């Protein structure tokens, strides 16, 4: 095991997949000469040349659509959005083209395409640049979505996404790029994490926090604090939001009988409400308490530091919800 | 080594027995052969003796309650012996028709224990003193608690809920299972208010009951009536009526003497549930809720609208309800569900100046009260003759269900309430 950053884990994944398969190429704003806005593509231009590491104009709809076209003719594009906040400009290419082409061509055309980049709020980037974008992508059938929380998951999931035959959005945590973690050594073989598998990041028997992406770390911090109060918290990292590991969700609910769904984005018509709905449909008799959600406040993200903190999900909020479902 | 105390067959034909009283209390040291309790069988009251030495750790059937032969009604064990398993599995079979296992909850709810079995977080529940929260007859419980209660044979309505709004949650069911709150109908003769009870309880007929039923029907007809009359001093009831009417004047509600009689009857029936019953042919159905049938004369006969849950209603509710039902009864605009389902009836001919009369029982009910007029009469009080408003109440009883002593005891309570309405609050 090597301890590397989330950023380097993504870089490793790109290098390994581009080495393995010549049809894989990277395109996006400043991915080549500048090594990427978050330096994920560092060294790739030198290594693979400007035919496979391509700087695009500042035109999200243009290069996303170009990616869809390239995928249609057999390439495996990795389209980097500088952040997913900017990808709203490209949603027609994502929702109407990438997501639907396989269906509308009667299965003749596959779109083996990866959209990747950071999602979620960082620090004081204000309302337009602090959004958790998963729900926009999750809503439409036809796009797969993964949200790696650790360096190992980032590497394993990005590699799986590149190899997948359908469009996959790999949504990275903006605040996670510098996070270090253990990742299996390259010499130990190909490290790929299949899409659609959740991961129990912490075991516990009293209450389950079901979450994803950067929120996994918030959940783990809350769990550590709850442990001091004698509460054993299980943290289920969904990793893959579509396809969703429903079995893992049901298993943890059956184990603890109480669940809190923690999501980074807004609560309204969000990921959390879908998970709550699945739990009450499939695990009703296992519930000892209503399932609660913790999310960002239902407001545009404030710029002011104090207000931003109040709008984001907090450790205290997660702890309160856990105690509430435990009737404490 | 723990010894279970069983309801033993104390007569050759005994199928169930009622605990008349326990001669030992929980915590008493007993030795084999010592008398534990007096048990009423179908024939006589018999003594139940201990079959082992130790401490009478648990009594699982309250005095006054009935259980089938073979049911575990107590546990004798060493002082420090773990009897949780015995207690949890104890109690008579739930499904057995006619069994009336005593529940250790109901009147005496389990005390919270210090250790919480399931939640290692050792949360401190803040249980209210209320038993399971019931709204509209439904116990609030988490889905898991509901499933566990079914699996464990725990009567959910007897479990004290520690969740929000009294919701019964997992830890409550686990606690109840340990405490041995097994499912079953509630003790019919339990004195105080019982939470979350069943609507009724069917009681299997004892051999004696069957014989009484058969012979009396031969004697007097399909419903063997007998009649009990009391003479009630209505001074206080009259005063109470004036006070209540003064209080309710602003609301436009006027309470009649009959409304007070209805309320008093409902309260008395709650205290004498053996009179709030139906004859079912091969069982007696004792009701926990009181639905009073109130016969109303109409043009070509009479009809009996029903005041439902009269025991839960105050005079301010009963008075307008009776008036409204009677009004629609005369217009023949009652829905069928408004004139069926009564558990007991109260007929009043006082407004016609009838001093006393007997009512004919409305089957399958087991009793009806015939209320006469309130009249000033000369009575002897403390050696002198005084004038008092008096009212005669005659109860018709179905002898298959109600015996003389039971009916009399009910009437005594009713008389007490009417003569001192405060009694209803006690």
Instruction: Tell me the per-residue pLDDT of B281-331, one tens digit each, with 9 for 90 and over.
Output: 888 999 999 999 999 888 777 788 999 999 999 999 999 999 999 998 888
Q: What is the mean pLDDT of residues A187-209?
A: 95
pLDDT of residue B329: 87
- pLDDT > 70: what percent of chain B? 82
Q: Quickly state the pLDDT bin for B89 (edges 50, 70, 90).
A: low
Chain B environment of A286 (Cβ under 8 Å): 143-144, 147
Start-to-end CA distance of chain A, whole Å, equals 41
Q: Is the pLDDT of residue B113 over 90?
A: no
Q: Is residue B58 within 8 Å of B26, Cβ to Cβ?
A: yes
Residues B248 and B320 in one domain: yes
Residues B115 and B180 in one domain: yes
Instruction: Tell me the per-residue pLDDT of A37-64, one tens digit each, with 9 for 90 and over.
Output: 999 999 999 999 999 999 999 999 999 9
- Interchain proximity A327–B163, CB inside 8 Å: yes
CA–CA separation, B212 and B217 (whole Å): 8
Residues B187 and B224 in one domain: no
ipTM, two decimals: 0.72
pLDDT of residue B132: 53
Instruction: Tell me the per-residue pLDDT of B9-28, one tens digit each, with 9 for 90 and over.
Output: 777 667 788 898 899 999 99
User: Residue A81: which of A90, A73, A93, A72 has the closest Cα?
Assistant: A90
Q: Quickly state the pLDDT bin for A320 (edges 50, 70, 90).
A: very high
Among the residue ranges A143-152, A257-266, A273-282, B178-187, the one predicted with the least confidence is B178-187
Chain A environment of B119 (Cβ under 8 Å): 206, 326
**In chain B, how many domains are there?**
2
Q: Which of A243-257, B101-115, B357-371 has the highest mean pLDDT?
A: A243-257
- Interchain proximity A286–B119, CB inside 8 Å: no
Instruction: Tell me the per-residue pLDDT of A292-312, one tens digit each, with 9 for 90 and over.
Output: 999 999 999 999 999 999 999
Q: Is the pLDDT of residue A107 over 50?
A: yes
Q: Minimal Cα–Cα distance from A210 to chain B, Å?
A: 19
Residues B150 and B250 in one domain: no
Q: What is the DSSP letter of B389?
A: E
Its CATH class, for the domain covering A2-188, is alpha beta
Average confidence score pLDDT of chain A: 96
pLDDT of residue A18: 98
Q: Is the pLDDT of residue B134 over 70?
A: no
Query: By CA distance, what is A257's nearest residue in B?
Result: B144
Instruction: Tell me the per-residue pLDDT of B163-187, one tens digit each, with 9 for 90 and over.
Output: 888 889 988 888 887 776 554 433 3
Domain boundaries, chain A: 2-188, 199-325
Q: What is the mean pLDDT of residues B274-282?
A: 92
B314: phi then psi, degrees, rounded to nearest 5:
-90, 170
Q: Quickly state the pLDDT bin for B197 (edges 50, 70, 90).
A: low
Query: By CA distance, what is A280's nearest residue in B?
Result: B143
Q: Is A129 a catalytic site residue? A: yes
3-state helix, strand, coil in chain B (%, to 5): 30, 25, 45
Q: What is the mean pLDDT of residues B121-148?
A: 62
Residues B187 and B217 in one domain: no
- Which residue in the set A231, A286, A327 is minimally distant from B169, CB to CB? A327
Residues B121 and B219 in one domain: no
Q: Is the pLDDT of residue B52 over 80?
A: yes
Residues B259 and B191 in one domain: no
Q: Is the dihedral of CA B97, B103, B107, B109 positive or negative?
A: negative
- What is the DSSP code string of B220-275? H-SS-EEEEEEEEE-HHHHHHHHHHHHHHGGGT----HHHHHHHHHHHHHHH-GGG
- Interchain proximity A230–B120, CB inside 8 Å: yes
Give, in degrees to the nearest 5, the angle at Cα B410 between B301 and B348.
Answer: 25
Please give the CATH architecture assigned to the domain spanning A199-325.
3-Layer(aba) Sandwich (3.40)
Residues in chain B: 426
Q: Which residues of A touch B (CB under 8 A)?
A: 205-206, 229-232, 257, 284-289, 326-328
- Interchain proximity B121–A231, CB inside 8 Å: yes
pLDDT of residue B99: 37
Chain A environment of B145 (Cβ under 8 Å): 288
Chain B environment of A230 (Cβ under 8 Å): 120-122
Q: What is the mean pLDDT of residues A188-199?
A: 95
- Interchain proximity B123–A326, CB inside 8 Å: yes
Among the residue ranges A96-110, A232-246, B174-188, B328-342, the one predicted with the least confidence is B174-188
- Interchain proximity A327–B162, CB inside 8 Å: yes
B78: phi then psi, degrees, rounded to nearest 5:
-65, 155
Q: Is the pLDDT of residue B97 over 60?
A: no
Helix and strand numbers (H, E) in chain B are 8, 22
Query: By CA distance, what is B123's nearest residue in A?
Result: A328
Is B330 buried (19+), middle (13-18) or exposed (0-12) by CB count in 10 A? middle
Q: Determine the structural domain holding residue B167 and report its residue range.
A: 3-200
Q: What is the mean pLDDT of residues B395-408?
A: 94
To test the contact with chain A by mutation, choose from B116, B118, B119, B167 the residue with the greatest count of A C-beta atoms within 10 A, namely B119
To test the contact with chain A by mutation, choose from B112, B133, B143 the residue with the greatest count of A C-beta atoms within 10 A, namely B143
- Interchain proximity A286–B169, CB inside 8 Å: no
Q: Is residue A239 within 8 Å of A212, Cβ to Cβ?
A: yes
Strand-by-strand arrangement of the B35-40 sheet: B45-49, B35-40, B16-22, B66-68
pLDDT of residue B181: 56
Residues B192 and B290 in one domain: no
Residue A229: which residues within 8 A CB-CB, separation 6 or more?
Answer: B121
Q: Quickly state the pLDDT bin for B136 (edges 50, 70, 90).
A: low
Residues B310 and B336 in one domain: yes
pLDDT of residue A56: 97
Residues B20 and B135 in one domain: yes
Q: What is the mean pLDDT of residues B147-169?
A: 85
Q: Is the pLDDT of residue B231 over 80?
A: yes
Among A60, A80, A264, A308, the one annotated catalytic: A60
User: Residue B92: which of B77, B81, B103, B76 has the closest Cα?
Assistant: B103
Q: Is the pLDDT of residue B218 over 90?
A: no
Q: Give one word for A291, left, alpha or beta, with left for phi > 0 and alpha for psi -120 to 50.
A: beta
Considering only residues A25 and B147, tell me which one the structure prediction assigns the higher pLDDT.
A25
User: Residue B291: which of B306, B277, B304, B281 has the closest Cα?
Assistant: B306
Q: Quickly state the pLDDT bin for A249 (edges 50, 70, 90).
A: very high
Q: Quickly state the pLDDT bin for A113 (edges 50, 70, 90).
A: very high
Q: Is the dihedral of CA A174, A175, A178, A183 positive or negative?
A: negative
Task: Could you list the beta-strand ranges (E) of B62-151.
Answer: 66-68, 72-77, 134-135, 138-139
3-state helix, strand, coil in chain A (%, to 5): 40, 20, 40
Residues B178 and B283 in one domain: no
For residue A292, the cross-strand partners are A260
Residues B168 and B207 in one domain: no
pLDDT of residue B199: 77
Q: Is the pLDDT of residue B91 over 70?
A: no
To test the contact with chain B by mutation, choose from A280, A284, A288, A321 the residue with the greatest count of B C-beta atoms within 10 A, namely A288
- Interchain proximity B144–A257, CB inside 8 Å: yes
Residue A26: which residues within 8 A CB-CB, separation 6 or more?
Answer: A14, A18, A41, A44, A52, A53, A54, A77, A78, A80
Considering only residues B149 and A222, tell me which one the structure prediction assigns the higher pLDDT.
A222
Q: Is A60 a catalytic site residue? A: yes
Q: What is the mean pLDDT of residues B236-255?
A: 90
User: Residue B398: which of B280, B226, B270 has the closest Cα?
Assistant: B226
Start-to-end CA distance of chain B, whole Å, equals 44
Query: By CA distance, what is B172's nearest residue in A?
Result: A288
Considering only residues B352 and A144, tell me which one the structure prediction assigns the higher pLDDT.
A144
User: Residue B60: which of B198, B182, B192, B204 has the closest Cα?
Assistant: B182
- Interchain proximity A288–B162, CB inside 8 Å: no
Among the residue ranges B50-54, B225-229, B376-380, the one predicted with the least confidence is B50-54
User: Residue A294: which of A136, A132, A173 has the closest Cα?
Assistant: A132
Query: By CA distance, what is B168's nearest residue in A?
Result: A288
What is the SS3 assignment for B282-302?
CEEEEECCCCEECCEEECCEE
Q: Is B49 helix (H, G, I), strand (E, B) or coil?
A: strand
Q: What is the CATH number of the domain that holds B210?
A: 3.30.559.10
pLDDT of residue B88: 63
pLDDT of residue B131: 53
Query: By CA distance, what is A287's nearest residue in B?
Result: B144
CA–CA separation, A263 and A250 (whole Å): 18
Q: Is residue B91 within 8 Å of B182, Cβ to Cβ?
A: yes
Average confidence score pLDDT of chain B: 80
């Amino acid at each position: 095991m090597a301890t590397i950053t989330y950023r380097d884990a993504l870089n490793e994944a790109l290098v390994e997949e581009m080495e393995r398969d010549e049809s894989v190429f990277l395109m996006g704003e400043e991915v080549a000469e500048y090594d990427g806005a978050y330096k994920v593509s560092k060294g790739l231009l030198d290594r693979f040349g400007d035919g496979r590491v391509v700087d695009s104009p500042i035109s999200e709809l243009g290069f996303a659509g170009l990616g869809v076209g390239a995928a249609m003719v057999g390439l495996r594009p990795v389209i980097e959005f500088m952040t997913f906040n900017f990808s709203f400009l490209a949603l027609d290419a994502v929702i109407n083209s990438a997501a639907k082409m396989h269906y509308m061509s009667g299965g003749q055309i596959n779109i083996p395409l990866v959209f990747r980049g950071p999602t979620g709020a960082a620090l004081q980037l204000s309302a337009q640049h602090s959004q958790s974008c998963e729900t926009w992508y999750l809503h439409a059938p036809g796009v797969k979505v993964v949200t790696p929380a650790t360096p190992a998951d980032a590497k394993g999931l990005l590699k799986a996404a590149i190899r997948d035959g359908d469009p996959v959005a790999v949504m990275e945590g903006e605040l996670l790029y510098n996070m270090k973690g253990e990742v299996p050594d390259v010499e130990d073989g190909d490290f790929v994490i299949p899409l659609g598998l959740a991961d129990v990041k912490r075991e516990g028997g009293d209450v389950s926090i079901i979450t994803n992406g950067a929120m996994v770390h918030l959940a783990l911090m809350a769990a550590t604090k709850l442990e001091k109060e004698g509460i054993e918290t299980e943290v289920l990292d969904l990793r893959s939001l579509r396809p969703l590991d429903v079995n893992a969700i049901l298993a943890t609910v059956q184990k603890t009988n109480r669940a809190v769904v923690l999501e980074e984005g807004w609560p309204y018509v969000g990921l959390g409400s879908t998970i709550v709905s699945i739990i009450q449909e499939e695990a009703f008799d296992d519930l000892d308490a209503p399932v609660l959600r913790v999310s960002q406040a239902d407001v545009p993200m404030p710029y002011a530091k104090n207000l931003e903190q109040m709008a984001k999900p907090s450790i205290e909020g997660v702890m309160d919800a856990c105690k509430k479902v435990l009737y404490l | 080594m723990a010894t279970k105390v069983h309801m033993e067959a104390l007569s050759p034909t005994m199928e169930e027995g009622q605990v008349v009283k326990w001669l030992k209390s929980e915590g008493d040291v007993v030795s084999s052969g010592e008398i534990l309790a007096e048990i009423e069988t179908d024939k006589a009251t018999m003594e139940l003796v201990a079959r082992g030495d130790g401490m009478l750790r648990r009594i699982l059937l309250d005095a006054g309650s009935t259980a089938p032969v073979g049911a575990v009604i107590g546990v004798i064990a060493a002082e420090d012996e773990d009897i949780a398993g015995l207690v949890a599995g104890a109690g008579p079979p739930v499904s057995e028709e006619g069994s009336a296992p005593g529940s250790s909850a109901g009147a005496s709810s389990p005390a919270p224990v210090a250790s919480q079995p399931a939640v290692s977080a050792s949360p401190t529940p803040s249980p209210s003193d209320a038993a399971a929260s019931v709204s509209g007859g439904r116990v609030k419980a988490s889905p898991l608690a509901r499933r566990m209660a079914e699996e464990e044979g725990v009567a959910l309505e007897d479990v004290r809920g520690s969740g929000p709004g009294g919701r019964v949650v997992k830890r409550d069911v686990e606690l109840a299972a340990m405490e041995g709150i097994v499912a079953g109908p509630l003790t019919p003769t339990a004195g105080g208010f019982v939470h979350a009870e069943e609507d009724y309880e069917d009681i299997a007929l004892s051999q004696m009951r069957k014989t009484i039923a058969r012979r009396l029907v031969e004697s007097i007809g399909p419903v063997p009536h007998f009649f009990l009359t009391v003479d009630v001093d209505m001074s206080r009831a009259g005063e109470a009526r004036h006070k209540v009417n003064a209080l309710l004047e602003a609301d436009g509600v006027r309470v009649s003497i009959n409304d007070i009689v209805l309320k008093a009857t409902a309260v008395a029936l709650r205290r004498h549930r053996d009179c709030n019953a139906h004859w079912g042919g091969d069982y007696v159905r004792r009701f926990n809720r009181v639905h009073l049938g109130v016969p109303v004369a109409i043009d070509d006969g009479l009809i009996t609208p029903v005041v439902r849950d009269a025991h839960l209603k105050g005079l301010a509710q009963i008075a307008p309800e009776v008036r409204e039902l009677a009004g629609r009864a005369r217009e023949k605009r009652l829905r069928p569900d408004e004139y069926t389902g009564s558990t007991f009836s109260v007929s009043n001919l006082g407004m016609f100046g009838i001093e006393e009369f007997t009512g004919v029982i409305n089957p399958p009910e087991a009793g009806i009260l015939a209320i006469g007029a309130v009249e000033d009469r000369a009575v002897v009080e403390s050696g002198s003759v005084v004038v008092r408003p008096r009212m005669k109440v005659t109860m018709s009883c179905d002898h298959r269900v109600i015996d003389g002593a039971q009916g009399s005891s009910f009437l005594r309570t009713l008389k007490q309430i009417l003569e001192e309405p405060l009694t209803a609050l006690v």
